[in-house]
Amino acid sequence: MYSNAIEVKNLTKIYKDLKAVDDLSLEIKKGEIFGFLGPNGAGKTTTIKSILGLIYPNNGFIKINGKDVLKNVKEVKKNIGYLPEKVSFYNKLTALQNLRFYAELKNVSKDRCMPLIEEFGLGEYANKKVGQYSKGMLQKLGLARAILGEPEILFLDEPTSGLDPRGVKWIRNKIQMLNEKGTTIFISSHILSEIQAIASQVGIINRGILVAQDSVDNLSEELKIQPKLILKFDRIIVNVIADKIKESLKKIKEVNRIESSGVYLTIYCEAKKWADVIFNIKKAGFDVKNINIEKSSLEDVFMKYTEEK
Protein backbone atom coordinates (compact mmCIF):
# COMPACT_ATOMS: atom_id res chain seq x y z
CA MET A 1 0.00 0.00 0.00
CA TYR A 2 1.31 3.45 -0.94
CA SER A 3 2.24 5.29 2.31
CA ASN A 4 2.62 8.80 0.87
CA ALA A 5 -0.47 10.92 0.34
CA ILE A 6 1.53 13.52 -1.58
CA GLU A 7 4.85 13.19 -3.35
CA VAL A 8 6.53 16.03 -5.23
CA LYS A 9 9.84 15.64 -7.08
CA ASN A 10 11.92 18.44 -8.63
CA LEU A 11 8.94 20.77 -9.09
CA THR A 12 9.87 23.91 -11.04
CA LYS A 13 7.51 26.65 -12.17
CA ILE A 14 8.68 29.70 -14.13
CA TYR A 15 6.65 32.81 -14.98
CA LYS A 16 8.54 34.72 -17.70
CA ASP A 17 11.74 35.74 -15.86
CA LEU A 18 10.55 34.69 -12.39
CA LYS A 19 11.31 31.20 -11.05
CA ALA A 20 8.42 30.95 -8.60
CA VAL A 21 9.25 27.39 -7.51
CA ASP A 22 12.76 26.03 -7.87
CA ASP A 23 13.40 22.24 -7.96
CA LEU A 24 11.14 21.58 -4.96
CA SER A 25 10.74 18.05 -3.58
CA LEU A 26 8.67 16.91 -0.60
CA GLU A 27 6.83 13.87 0.76
CA ILE A 28 3.78 13.90 3.00
CA LYS A 29 2.56 10.68 4.57
CA LYS A 30 -1.09 9.69 4.82
CA GLY A 31 -2.81 10.96 7.94
CA GLU A 32 -0.36 13.82 8.58
CA ILE A 33 -1.06 17.49 9.19
CA PHE A 34 1.60 19.23 7.13
CA GLY A 35 2.26 22.94 7.65
CA PHE A 36 3.59 24.76 4.58
CA LEU A 37 5.27 28.06 5.45
CA GLY A 38 7.08 30.88 3.73
CA PRO A 39 7.25 34.69 3.40
CA ASN A 40 4.93 36.50 1.01
CA GLY A 41 5.87 35.67 -2.58
CA ALA A 42 7.92 32.62 -1.55
CA GLY A 43 6.00 30.26 -3.87
CA LYS A 44 3.48 28.66 -1.50
CA THR A 45 0.34 29.21 -3.57
CA THR A 46 2.13 28.28 -6.82
CA THR A 47 3.22 25.01 -5.22
CA ILE A 48 -0.30 24.25 -3.98
CA LYS A 49 -1.90 25.01 -7.35
CA SER A 50 0.70 22.80 -9.08
CA ILE A 51 -0.04 19.90 -6.74
CA LEU A 52 -3.77 20.37 -7.37
CA GLY A 53 -3.27 20.32 -11.14
CA LEU A 54 -4.62 23.86 -11.48
CA ILE A 55 -1.42 25.06 -13.17
CA TYR A 56 1.22 23.11 -15.08
CA PRO A 57 4.84 23.06 -13.89
CA ASN A 58 7.79 23.50 -16.23
CA ASN A 59 9.52 20.49 -14.70
CA GLY A 60 9.08 17.70 -12.15
CA PHE A 61 6.27 15.32 -11.28
CA ILE A 62 3.56 15.17 -8.62
CA LYS A 63 1.78 12.12 -7.23
CA ILE A 64 -1.37 11.96 -5.11
CA ASN A 65 -1.88 8.56 -3.47
CA GLY A 66 0.70 7.15 -5.89
CA LYS A 67 -0.99 8.47 -9.04
CA ASP A 68 0.57 11.01 -11.37
CA VAL A 69 -1.52 14.19 -11.08
CA LEU A 70 -1.00 15.40 -14.65
CA LYS A 71 -1.91 12.02 -16.15
CA ASN A 72 -4.88 11.33 -13.85
CA VAL A 73 -6.25 14.81 -13.09
CA LYS A 74 -9.95 13.94 -12.88
CA GLU A 75 -9.45 10.75 -10.89
CA VAL A 76 -7.02 12.37 -8.44
CA LYS A 77 -9.25 15.38 -7.80
CA LYS A 78 -12.08 13.14 -6.60
CA ASN A 79 -10.07 12.54 -3.41
CA ILE A 80 -9.10 16.17 -2.81
CA GLY A 81 -10.78 19.08 -1.02
CA TYR A 82 -9.51 22.63 -1.42
CA LEU A 83 -10.05 25.82 0.55
CA PRO A 84 -8.37 28.67 -1.39
CA GLU A 85 -6.93 31.76 0.26
CA LYS A 86 -9.74 33.89 -1.16
CA VAL A 87 -13.05 32.09 -0.70
CA SER A 88 -15.70 32.95 -3.28
CA PHE A 89 -19.26 31.82 -3.91
CA TYR A 90 -22.22 32.89 -6.01
CA ASN A 91 -23.29 35.84 -3.87
CA LYS A 92 -26.90 35.92 -5.11
CA LEU A 93 -27.43 32.29 -4.15
CA THR A 94 -28.04 31.05 -0.62
CA ALA A 95 -25.54 28.87 1.25
CA LEU A 96 -27.72 25.81 0.62
CA GLN A 97 -28.06 26.59 -3.09
CA ASN A 98 -24.30 27.07 -3.37
CA LEU A 99 -23.47 23.80 -1.66
CA ARG A 100 -26.02 21.88 -3.72
CA PHE A 101 -24.45 23.29 -6.88
CA TYR A 102 -20.97 22.13 -5.81
CA ALA A 103 -22.35 18.77 -4.70
CA GLU A 104 -23.66 18.28 -8.22
CA LEU A 105 -20.24 19.17 -9.66
CA LYS A 106 -18.57 16.69 -7.30
CA ASN A 107 -21.21 14.05 -8.00
CA VAL A 108 -22.06 13.95 -4.29
CA SER A 109 -25.56 13.47 -2.90
CA LYS A 110 -27.29 16.82 -2.30
CA ASP A 111 -28.85 15.34 0.83
CA ARG A 112 -25.47 15.85 2.53
CA CYS A 113 -25.56 19.63 2.10
CA MET A 114 -27.99 20.71 4.83
CA PRO A 115 -26.51 18.45 7.54
CA LEU A 116 -23.07 19.83 6.61
CA ILE A 117 -24.28 23.43 6.89
CA GLU A 118 -25.73 22.65 10.32
CA GLU A 119 -22.53 20.89 11.36
CA PHE A 120 -20.63 24.09 10.61
CA GLY A 121 -22.98 26.21 12.72
CA LEU A 122 -24.69 27.91 9.77
CA GLY A 123 -28.06 26.17 9.98
CA GLU A 124 -30.11 29.31 10.69
CA TYR A 125 -28.40 31.09 7.76
CA ALA A 126 -28.79 28.26 5.23
CA ASN A 127 -31.34 30.21 3.17
CA LYS A 128 -29.56 33.55 3.46
CA LYS A 129 -27.76 34.87 0.39
CA VAL A 130 -24.01 34.35 0.67
CA GLY A 131 -23.35 37.96 -0.37
CA GLN A 132 -24.60 38.95 3.10
CA TYR A 133 -22.23 36.58 4.94
CA SER A 134 -19.41 37.77 7.22
CA LYS A 135 -15.79 36.74 6.64
CA GLY A 136 -16.01 34.08 9.35
CA MET A 137 -19.20 32.63 7.91
CA LEU A 138 -17.64 32.49 4.44
CA GLN A 139 -14.60 30.62 5.80
CA LYS A 140 -16.86 28.07 7.47
CA LEU A 141 -18.92 27.61 4.32
CA GLY A 142 -15.71 27.34 2.30
CA LEU A 143 -14.44 24.56 4.54
CA ALA A 144 -17.83 22.82 4.34
CA ARG A 145 -17.58 22.94 0.54
CA ALA A 146 -14.01 21.59 0.69
CA ILE A 147 -15.05 18.48 2.64
CA LEU A 148 -18.09 17.67 0.50
CA GLY A 149 -17.71 14.04 -0.47
CA GLU A 150 -15.32 13.36 2.43
CA PRO A 151 -12.03 13.74 0.50
CA GLU A 152 -8.95 11.86 1.72
CA ILE A 153 -6.71 14.93 1.36
CA LEU A 154 -7.56 18.52 2.28
CA PHE A 155 -5.62 21.57 1.07
CA LEU A 156 -6.13 24.72 3.13
CA ASP A 157 -4.56 28.00 1.98
CA GLU A 158 -4.66 30.57 4.83
CA PRO A 159 -7.82 29.06 6.40
CA THR A 160 -7.88 31.49 9.36
CA SER A 161 -7.12 34.67 7.40
CA GLY A 162 -9.10 37.64 8.72
CA LEU A 163 -10.86 35.67 11.45
CA ASP A 164 -11.27 36.74 15.08
CA PRO A 165 -9.79 34.49 17.85
CA ARG A 166 -13.08 32.60 18.24
CA GLY A 167 -13.18 31.83 14.51
CA VAL A 168 -9.51 30.80 14.49
CA LYS A 169 -10.11 28.37 17.35
CA TRP A 170 -13.20 26.92 15.66
CA ILE A 171 -11.34 26.29 12.39
CA ARG A 172 -8.37 24.76 14.24
CA ASN A 173 -10.60 22.37 16.19
CA LYS A 174 -12.41 21.36 12.99
CA ILE A 175 -9.09 20.63 11.23
CA GLN A 176 -8.00 18.42 14.13
CA MET A 177 -11.32 16.56 14.12
CA LEU A 178 -11.03 15.88 10.38
CA ASN A 179 -7.47 14.65 10.84
CA GLU A 180 -8.51 12.31 13.65
CA LYS A 181 -10.91 10.70 11.16
CA GLY A 182 -7.96 9.99 8.84
CA THR A 183 -7.91 13.04 6.55
CA THR A 184 -4.47 14.19 5.42
CA ILE A 185 -4.21 17.97 5.85
CA PHE A 186 -1.93 20.26 3.83
CA ILE A 187 -2.18 23.72 5.39
CA SER A 188 -0.49 26.97 4.43
CA SER A 189 -0.68 29.82 6.94
CA HIS A 190 1.10 32.92 8.23
CA ILE A 191 -0.15 32.27 11.77
CA LEU A 192 2.83 30.22 12.95
CA SER A 193 1.46 29.51 16.43
CA GLU A 194 -1.57 27.81 14.84
CA ILE A 195 0.65 25.65 12.64
CA GLN A 196 2.83 24.67 15.60
CA ALA A 197 -0.26 23.72 17.60
CA ILE A 198 -1.56 21.20 15.05
CA ALA A 199 1.13 20.21 12.51
CA SER A 200 3.17 17.03 12.91
CA GLN A 201 5.60 18.24 10.26
CA VAL A 202 6.39 21.53 8.54
CA GLY A 203 7.99 22.57 5.28
CA ILE A 204 9.53 26.02 4.82
CA ILE A 205 9.85 27.56 1.36
CA ASN A 206 11.91 30.68 0.68
CA ARG A 207 12.37 32.30 -2.75
CA GLY A 208 10.91 29.19 -4.38
CA ILE A 209 13.28 26.77 -2.65
CA LEU A 210 12.23 24.30 0.05
CA VAL A 211 14.80 25.09 2.73
CA ALA A 212 13.54 22.74 5.45
CA GLN A 213 11.13 19.87 6.10
CA ASP A 214 10.80 18.10 9.46
CA SER A 215 9.10 18.37 12.84
CA VAL A 216 9.53 21.66 14.73
CA ASP A 217 11.53 19.92 17.48
CA ASN A 218 13.94 18.33 14.99
CA LEU A 219 14.43 21.59 13.10
CA SER A 220 15.07 23.42 16.39
CA GLU A 221 17.66 20.85 17.35
CA GLU A 222 19.32 21.08 13.94
CA LEU A 223 19.54 24.87 14.23
CA LYS A 224 20.64 24.60 17.88
CA ILE A 225 17.78 26.85 18.99
CA GLN A 226 17.68 26.68 22.77
CA PRO A 227 14.63 26.96 25.01
CA LYS A 228 14.18 30.11 27.10
CA LEU A 229 14.27 30.31 30.88
CA ILE A 230 12.19 33.35 31.84
CA LEU A 231 12.65 34.60 35.41
CA LYS A 232 10.53 37.23 37.14
CA PHE A 233 11.96 39.39 39.93
CA ASP A 234 10.37 41.75 42.46
CA ARG A 235 12.15 44.77 40.99
CA ILE A 236 12.99 46.17 37.58
CA ILE A 237 16.20 44.77 36.12
CA VAL A 238 18.27 47.91 35.56
CA ASN A 239 21.70 47.71 33.90
CA VAL A 240 23.62 47.47 37.20
CA ILE A 241 21.52 44.54 38.41
CA ALA A 242 21.68 42.84 34.98
CA ASP A 243 25.48 43.13 35.04
CA LYS A 244 25.66 41.55 38.51
CA ILE A 245 23.43 38.66 37.41
CA LYS A 246 25.50 38.12 34.27
CA GLU A 247 28.63 38.07 36.40
CA SER A 248 27.08 35.38 38.63
CA LEU A 249 26.43 33.19 35.57
CA LYS A 250 29.83 33.59 33.89
CA LYS A 251 31.04 30.16 35.01
CA ILE A 252 28.10 28.40 33.32
CA LYS A 253 29.39 27.91 29.78
CA GLU A 254 26.01 26.73 28.51
CA VAL A 255 24.47 30.18 29.02
CA ASN A 256 24.54 31.78 25.57
CA ARG A 257 22.50 34.94 25.94
CA ILE A 258 20.77 37.00 28.61
CA GLU A 259 18.08 39.61 27.93
CA SER A 260 16.33 41.88 30.44
CA SER A 261 12.98 43.66 30.12
CA GLY A 262 11.25 45.27 33.09
CA VAL A 263 11.09 42.73 35.92
CA TYR A 264 11.87 39.84 33.58
CA LEU A 265 15.14 38.18 32.68
CA THR A 266 15.28 35.80 29.70
CA ILE A 267 18.15 33.31 29.67
CA TYR A 268 19.02 31.16 26.66
CA CYS A 269 20.57 28.02 28.09
CA GLU A 270 20.56 24.23 27.83
CA ALA A 271 17.82 22.71 29.98
CA LYS A 272 20.28 20.63 32.04
CA LYS A 273 21.77 23.86 33.45
CA TRP A 274 18.56 25.61 34.50
CA ALA A 275 18.90 24.54 38.14
CA ASP A 276 22.49 25.85 38.24
CA VAL A 277 21.36 29.17 36.76
CA ILE A 278 18.67 29.70 39.40
CA PHE A 279 21.00 28.59 42.22
CA ASN A 280 23.73 31.03 41.15
CA ILE A 281 21.28 33.93 40.85
CA LYS A 282 19.91 33.29 44.34
CA LYS A 283 23.46 32.92 45.66
CA ALA A 284 24.24 36.38 44.25
CA GLY A 285 21.42 37.79 46.40
CA PHE A 286 18.52 38.02 43.96
CA ASP A 287 15.13 36.46 44.70
CA VAL A 288 13.33 34.83 41.80
CA LYS A 289 9.55 35.34 42.13
CA ASN A 290 8.40 33.25 39.19
CA ILE A 291 9.88 30.82 36.67
CA ASN A 292 8.57 30.17 33.18
CA ILE A 293 9.98 27.99 30.40
CA GLU A 294 9.40 28.51 26.68
CA LYS A 295 10.39 25.80 24.25
CA SER A 296 11.79 26.84 20.90
CA SER A 297 8.95 28.10 18.73
CA LEU A 298 8.10 27.67 15.08
CA GLU A 299 8.65 31.42 14.77
CA ASP A 300 12.30 30.96 15.86
CA VAL A 301 12.76 28.20 13.29
CA PHE A 302 11.00 30.15 10.54
CA MET A 303 13.08 33.29 11.10
CA LYS A 304 16.33 31.31 11.05
CA TYR A 305 15.51 29.62 7.74
CA THR A 306 14.16 32.69 5.98
CA GLU A 307 16.46 35.45 7.24
CA GLU A 308 18.29 37.42 4.58
CA LYS A 309 21.86 36.27 3.94
| CATH number of the domain within which 178 lies | 3.40.50.300
Q: Are 95 and 169 part of one and the same domain?
A: yes
Are residue 50 and residue 68 in the same domain, yes or no?
yes
Task: Tell me what the mean pLDDT of segment 253-263 comes to.
Answer: 79
Q: Is there a single domain that holds both residue 59 and residue 168?
A: yes
Asked if residue 265 and residue 207 are part of one domain, the reply reads no
Range of the domain at 236: 222-306
Residue 237 in contact with residue 262, Cβ under 8 Å?
Answer: yes
Q: Do 92 and 232 have their domain in common?
A: no
Over residues 38-48, the mean pLDDT reads: 90
Task: Compute the distance between CA of residue 159 and CA of residue 87 in angstroms, rounded to an integer.
Answer: 9
SS3 94: strand
For 225-273, the three-class secondary structure string (H helix, E strand, C coil) is CCCEEEEEECCCCCHHHHHHHHHHCCCCCCEEEEEEECCEEEEEECHHH
The type of residue at 57 is P
Same domain membership, residue 271 and residue 167: no
Do residues 131 and 258 share a domain?
no
At 195-206, the pLDDT tens digits run 888 899 999 999
Query: Is the domain of 208 the same as that of 246?
Result: no
Structure confidence by residue, pLDDT tens digits, 171-192: 889 999 999 999 999 999 888 8
At which of 184, 215, 246 does a domain end?
215
Give residue 1's pLDDT.
Answer: 56
Domain holding 255: CATH number? 3.30.70.100
Q: What is the number of domains present in the chain?
A: 2
Give the Cα separation of 62 and 78 in Å (integer): 16
Rounded CA gap, 90 and 233, in Å?
58
